Amino acid sequence: MSKGPVVILTALNLEYQAVRQKLASPQMHRHERGTRFEVGTVQGTTHRVALGLTSKGNHSAAVIAERAIQEFSPVAVLFVGVAGALWDATGLGDVVVASHVYAYHGGTSEDEGLKARPRVWEAPHGISQLAAHLARLNDWSDSASGHGDAPQVRFGAIAAGEVVQNSRISAEAKWIRQHYNDALAIEMEAAGVAQAGHLNGAPVAIIRGISDRADGTKNSADDRSRQPQAAANAAAFAIRLAVELAAEQEETAVHEVSAMPQDDRLRSSDTVGRPVSNTAHNSTVGIMAGSVTGSSVHLNTAPQESGPVNLIAALKGFRENLGRHHAEGALDKETYREALADLDSALRSAEGNTRDTSMRAAMTLRRLRGLVTECPALLAELVPLIAAAGDRA
């Protein structure tokens, strides 16, 4: 599974700002070709999100989505923003999560009319299941929005084309409703993002807040007032989904490390400076080749203590290993700074040596775990320390 952040992409600045305001300390990240992303953590968590702007249209959305996937190796890509409703049953302000996406402009023109030849991408099963679960919990919307009834989350098809649809009586509007009558919403980017995810093996979710009914009112004053709330609703649900996706990825990484045979765990931790010593006299030593000629080699021959972990000493040792990973480039500056702050906080709590301080140390170390999931060796070293802090509580 990917160790990267969740990528969230939007087409409009309005949508971008709705997501950005939910991130703590976003930092600019520049792709080598000039595309700019911002990477921050979801407020109140350690889960990272990379945010990018694609501009309008399936083509530009596909290019930027693929660039983001290649750059970040994300847990998932979420495309977030506003859309028009195709049917009255979908309320203004509601959030539509795509069960599948139609690229509806595929077709063939024949004497009796335009025949539909769409491309279709289904949403990944795991993301659909998680989104449905969050919708049932119904704890994702901003309580302070103050805009009437709470928005509903609806699941269904989304139609993605190449033109702005702002009529219910035009020939194209009638054609869309005839051939894609199960689509709940219509927009212009989902097909490009879905294709990029398909080609690169990245899970994609399309999340749209309904701002209009594609009925000629798209540029009205009412629509301009509804767009910000629709964008905020979509952003709120997307952020909730992003946090859960990142948490699931973190738990999977921990289970993978815990399930390793002990020898594999030790090997995975060699890069964090686990003490290794060797003595060779008049000899040739080929450790990497697994050969020793004419000498003896001693690797940690001292017996390991089997007693309880000395948590204070272990945390101080982990601090040195954290610095080593940063120096070697395995941890970027911002991640290292946040990880160091969490570690120092856990160390102070552990030195308190009471049940409450030990509990705080364990909670802080769990937050720290989310920052080092990209470093299996650090993760393997941290897991028993979390357990040791919990045992003291």
Return the SS3 of 350: helix
Whole-number Å distance between alpha carbons of 145 and 93: 11
Flag whether 303 is in a domain.
no
Q: What pLDDT band is residue 216 in, cutting at 50, 70 and 90?
A: low
Q: Enter the pTM of the model.
A: 0.66
Question: Which position has the higher pLDDT, 336 or 358?
Answer: 336
Q: What pLDDT band is residue 309 in, cutting at 50, 70 and 90?
A: low
Q: Is the model's pLDDT at 296 over the cut of 60?
A: no
Return the SS3 of 238: helix
Amino acid at 269: S
- Please report, for the domain that includes residue 165, its CATH number: 3.40.50.1580
The two three-digit tokens of residue 184, written as one number: 């709940």
Instruction: Give the torsion through C-alpha atoms of 283, 285, 290, 292, to 10 deg.
Output: 10
Q: pLDDT (tens digit, 9 = 90+) per residue, 198-208?
A: 999 999 999 99
Whole-number Å distance between alpha carbons of 69 and 23: 20
User: Is residue 238 located within the same domain as residue 150?
Assistant: yes
Q: What pLDDT band is residue 353 in, cutting at 50, 70 and 90?
A: confident
Q: Is the model's pLDDT at 274 over the cut of 70?
A: no
> How large a percentage of the chain has pLDDT more than 90?
42
Helix ranges restricted to H, the chain = 13-20, 58-72, 125-137, 171-179, 190-200, 221-258, 262-268, 311-327, 333-352, 355-371, 376-392
Flag whether 299 is in a domain.
no
* Cβ 272 vs Cβ 324: under 8 Å: yes
* Cβ 308 vs Cβ 391: under 8 Å: yes
Residues 6 or more apart in contact with residue 305 via CB below 8 angstroms = none
Q: How many CB atoms lie within 10 A of CB 255?
A: 10
Return the SS3 of 80: strand
Flag whether 388 is in a domain.
yes
Residues 6 or more apart in contact with residue 56 via CB below 8 angstroms = 11, 12, 188, 189
Q: pLDDT (tens digit, 9 = 90+) per residue, 34-55?
A: 999 999 999 998 899 999 999 9
Q: Is the model's pLDDT at 88 over the cut of 80?
A: yes
User: Is residue 107 located within the same domain as residue 227?
Assistant: yes
Q: pLDDT (tens digit, 9 = 90+) per residue, 122-172?
A: 999 999 999 999 999 998 987 544 455 689 999 999 999 888 877 776 878
User: Is residue 245 located within the same domain as residue 383?
Assistant: no
Q: What's the pLDDT at 237?
A: 97
User: Is residue 234 located within the same domain as residue 346?
Assistant: no
User: Is residue 240 located within the same domain as residue 322?
Assistant: no
Whole-number Å distance between alpha carbons of 222 and 218: 9
Q: What pLDDT band is residue 253 in, cutting at 50, 70 and 90?
A: low
Flag whether 256 is in a domain.
no
User: Is residue 207 located within the same domain as residue 267?
Assistant: no
Flag whether 298 is in a domain.
no
User: Is residue 26 located within the same domain as residue 173?
Assistant: yes
Q: pLDDT (tens digit, 9 = 90+) per residue, 54-76?
A: 999 999 999 999 999 999 999 99
Q: What is the CA radius of gyration of the chain?
A: 26
Q: Is the model's pLDDT at 332 over the cut of 90?
A: no
Query: Half-sphere exposure of 308 toward its Cβ, with a 13 Å CA cutoff?
Result: 10
User: Is residue 197 located within the same domain as residue 267?
Assistant: no
The two three-digit tokens of residue 37, written as one number: 């992303």
User: Is residue 35 located within the same domain as residue 78?
Assistant: yes
User: Is residue 20 located within the same domain as residue 149?
Assistant: yes
Instruction: Give the torsion through C-alpha atoms of 139, 224, 213, 128, to 10 deg.
Output: -30
Q: Provide the residue range defining the domain that includes 93.
A: 6-251
Return the SS3 of 75: coil
- Provide the domain count of the chain: 2
